[in-house]
Amino acid sequence: MAAGAYSPEVLARFREPRNLGSLPRDDPRVGTGQAGEEDTGRLVRVQLRVDAGGVVTEARFKAFGCPATIACASLVTERADRAALHELSCVSGSELVEALRLAPERRDAAEVAVAALLAAVHDLQSRAR
């Protein structure tokens, strides 16, 4: 893959992202996590809604960045949907890189998306204490 090129998997998710949007922040069952910085060209916010058992019933994202950033944010919310919170610590940037066939110079897009996901999990876990 040429430097800067995007795989068909990235382009498909960029053109038709899944789970784009937001959830109400005032809902006690919603956790919000954010990672990256707009100044660097990558910012991802992930929101998760869980049921009483700690299973994700809904996942949403908003992202600012290149097609790889949007694709990674979309994929990470799909990985979270219907998963128990404790299972989400296993989601890795490498998993997203492989699934989306990301070019090496785009790997940080996967890391930012995972960091936002884990921040949302942490937000929910800190509320439960």
- Rounded Cα distance, 59 and 78, in Å: 7
Q: What is the pLDDT of residues 2-40, one digit of tens each?
A: 445 899 999 999 999 999 999 998 999 999 999 999 888
Averaged over 34-58, what is the pLDDT? 94
Edge-first strand listing for the sheet containing 42-50: 30-37, 42-50, 56-64
Predicted confidence at residue 41, as pLDDT, reads 83
Is residue 19 a contact partner of residue 60, using CB atoms and an 8 Å limit? yes
| Options 3.30.1330.20, 3.40.50.920, 3.20.20.70, 3.90.1010.10; CATH of 8-128 | 3.90.1010.10
Q: How far apart are the first and last CA of the chain?
A: 46
Predicted confidence at residue 1, as pLDDT, reads 47
Averaged over 99-114, what is the pLDDT? 95
